[in-house]
Structure 1
Amino acid sequence: MIGSGSNIRRRVVQHDFYETADQVSGVVLLNNPSNGPWEYEEYLRLLILKRYTDAHPKQVTSSSRCYFICADGAYPVLKAYVKRQQLQRNCFHLFGYFPLCDAVIGDMDSYTSSYELDGCQKPPSTPEGGYDTVNDIPTEVIDTIRRISEFTAAHFLEINGKIQDASFGEWEGMRGENTGLLLSPPWLQLRCQLTTDFKKSLMLLSRLCRYHSDGPVAILPPVLRSADGAKLLKTGGRAVGMQTNGSDNDDARECELCLEASRVEAVVLPTFVAIGAFGGRFDHEMGAVSTMFSVSDEAHVVLVDSTNTVFACQPNGWTQIVWQPQYEGKTCGLINYGRMLECETSGLQWDIVKGRGRPSVTENLVFGFDEFLSVCNAVRREVVTVDLRQLAPSTTASSGGGKKDVAMTCDCHDRSQKRSSPPVLFSIIRRQVRGDTDQMS
């Protein structure tokens, strides 16, 4: 395999948050006025799955640890939703005792209630108006967040046998007996207006993961844990879609592309799931996408709602996406935010072969935000491979007359920059699975 010494990286995507969420190291609930039952149910499903379930390891380990962050005003709205549900659903009674998140963070410009009444605690070190940036939050506060997450998971396992089918009154009784154990999430106000609350949340997650050597670790996707999985990535798997009316579908070349990709060592990044990125204000959505791209070298950030799963492709490298038919439909899109001069794909109904020096249906298309985008595409194989490597060398244009040669690159605004791909995201439709929320009733 091509090792870490190469600049080319391969991202292998096989999301497990649809079911087990073993790979998930962080969950962010964004403050979106259009958030509804699906967003809150999905957040709570992951919270229960990762922290408040019998399936949780008996001892909290770095592989099982996951942090839950609420951005700004998302917390009081979530809390109100849970309070209403507690009247009908016994499983939600535990949230009258255990915290709904590990921290609330943001500039707090949309936090309309009182953090004290919401059960949050403001760190004594908080300056007037809040901390300047995430990096200015003292290490003792970071350590407090870690201890809260560890203790709540461990304490749940300790008392779980006593609380099966407990009534709301019994929960209230335990709460009164163990007042000292009530754990309030820190309320972290930041003054900085140059970062969104989403970016602040991701920076906090990143700092939590870096600060402790036994913090959350990145988990390999299942396809990278077996010989059968390796074979699937090398071949692209079987065809699962239509075999006609596509473009640039060359079976032999697709196999070559997958084999070439599989020779590159897979990069393993922590997975952060963001809920509430879509719906409502369009500028909010675009800001969430931009933030996702801004941290794509450090974490695999996934934006989700009831219809979409969206994530960044590996820039200037490979991305291999394992299609999961139980949870994902076939409709997908490959969206480039900028002029894309080179790209090759396999496993799509309408594959792209652009800038690779050979004839193709898509060679003469201009891929740009003001030109052509690959939307309404479809999965055609079990594995979709996206190659965004920039293989064409920078050419030199001589102006004659002894003038200095000028390097021609993909960025016409700065010809001194190296040729690179624009940010590219992959989106796939999310299949509705009956019983997603029934398991929490």
Structure 2
Amino acid sequence: MEGTVLEHRDFFSRGSFALVILNNTLPKEAPILWELARVRVCADGGANRVYREMPSPAERLCLLDQITFFRFVPDHIVGDLDSIEPSIREIYASKGSEILDMSSDQDSTDLHKCVSFLRDSSRGDEVERIVVLGALGGRFDHELGNLNVLFAFPGLRICLASDENLVFLLRHGVLHEIRARVGAHCGLVPLGERSQSSTTTGLRWNLDSTAMAIGSLISTCNVVENEVVKVQSDVDLLWTMER
């Protein structure tokens, strides 16, 4: 059995991750993560969020557009391109952003398109993981679509991050060791299929070869008791953790 350490802070190590921005309210630390990321991708209307929400109050008051553009120019803008404002698209194109129109594909979300782009392009070879901002909160159908992307790309390390939560997928058949904040609320959910056997240590209410399924028992409202939580399951599990 292979052991995998998923230290949640290592998702944000400088230069090790691609940052994907969705068209939703961004967490307060978005500018910091932008600076730490190696590759920066906006999903369609996420470019509007970067343009309007990323500059600091001082930059907005002083209208230092050149500074703002220098700091917050996406490397790539990917998606249907039906949400990005034309003026913002023009500005970023003039500043060197690559704009990829994938409107011919109407069967996948903009996040799915962004992850596919990173997986299939040379940019994906530059990073170890993908951090997604704007994936949690807002419309619930959007949240479900974003969670579905985790299961659609199980071989990639993708983290959905908000001010309140981190969410990522734990692959089946692997002993996962997660370094977590003691006292944080957390959950383990088998969204994809029924688990016949899931086992944990380090939680207030541990699982011991426990069966779980949607519509039956799932592990929510749990609490981290040890700095290292260990999880092993026969199916892929969604791990959610309070920050």
- When normalised by structure 1's length, the TM-score is 0.50
For 1:25, which of 2, 17, 21 is the aligned residue? 17
How many residue pairs were aligned? 240
- In the TM superposition, residue 278 of structure 1 has moved relative to its aligned partner by 1.0
Task: Give 1:377's aligned residue.
Answer: 222
Task: Give 1:109's aligned residue.
Answer: 82
Larger radius of gyration: 1
Q: Does the C-alpha gap of structure 1 residues 370 and 74 become closer, same or farther in structure 2, counting only changes over 3 Å?
A: same
Task: Give 2:180's aligned residue.
Answer: 323
Counterpart contact for 2:8–2:178, Cα < 8 Å = no
SS of 1:78's partner is helix
- 1:311-336 Cα offsets, whole Å, 9 max, x none, are 101222221101245xxx52111111
Q: Does the C-alpha gap of structure 1 residues 281 and 69 become closer, same or farther in structure 2, counting only changes over 3 Å?
A: same
Counterpart contact for 2:202–2:225, Cα < 8 Å = yes
Amino acid of the residue matched to residue 289 of structure 1?
A: L
- In the TM superposition, residue 287 of structure 1 has moved relative to its aligned partner by 0.8
For 1:189, which of 79, 90, 101 is the aligned residue? 101
The question of 1:198 aligning with 2:171 is answered no
Q: Does the C-alpha gap of structure 1 residues 105 and 313 become closer, same or farther in structure 2, counting only changes over 3 Å?
A: same
The question of 1:335 aligning with 2:180 is answered no
Give runs of aligned pairs for residues 112-261 of structure 1, distance below 5 A. 112-114=85-87, 116-120=89-93, 183-190=95-102, 191-209=104-122, 215-217=125-127
Task: Give 2:157's aligned residue.
Answer: 300
SS of 1:320's partner is strand
- 1:216-271 Cα offsets, whole Å, 9 max, x none, are 25xxxxxxxxxxxxxxxxxxxxxxxxxxxxxxxxxxxxxxxxxxxxxxxxxxxx21
Distance 1:312 1:203 in 2: 17
Amino acid of the residue matched to residue 201 of structure 2?
A: S
Task: Give 1:427's aligned residue.
Answer: 240
Counterpart contact for 1:99–1:185, Cα < 8 Å = no
The question of 1:16 aligning with 2:3 is answered no
Q: Does the C-alpha gap of structure 1 residues 294 and 91 become closer, same or farther in structure 2, counting only changes over 3 Å?
A: farther
Q: Does the C-alpha gap of structure 1 residues 22 and 340 become closer, same or farther in structure 2, counting only changes over 3 Å?
A: same
Distance 2:71 2:55 in 1: 13
Distance 2:63 2:3 in 1: 44
Task: Give 1:46's aligned residue.
Answer: 33
Q: Does the C-alpha gap of structure 1 residues 351 and 92 become closer, same or farther in structure 2, counting only changes over 3 Å?
A: farther
Distance 2:10 2:73 in 1: 19
Q: Does the C-alpha gap of structure 1 residues 83 and 345 become closer, same or farther in structure 2, counting only changes over 3 Å?
A: closer
Counterpart contact for 2:27–2:163, Cα < 8 Å = no
Structure with greater strand percent: 2
Counterpart contact for 1:31–1:71, Cα < 8 Å = yes
SS of 2:184's partner is strand
Counterpart contact for 2:133–2:162, Cα < 8 Å = yes
- When normalised by structure 2's length, the TM-score is 0.87
Counterpart contact for 1:11–1:313, Cα < 8 Å = no
Q: Does the C-alpha gap of structure 1 residues 194 and 343 become closer, same or farther in structure 2, counting only changes over 3 Å?
A: same
**Stretch deviating more after TM superposition (92-101 or 333-342):** 92-101
Percent identity of equivalent pairs: 26
Counterpart contact for 1:67–1:205, Cα < 8 Å = no
Quote the RMSD (CA, aligned, Å): 2.6
Distance 2:46 2:221 in 1: 32
Distance 1:77 1:210 in 2: 22
- In the TM superposition, residue 98 of structure 1 has moved relative to its aligned partner by 4.7
Q: Does the C-alpha gap of structure 1 residues 346 and 95 become closer, same or farther in structure 2, counting only changes over 3 Å?
A: same
Amino acid of the residue matched to residue 106 of structure 1?
A: G
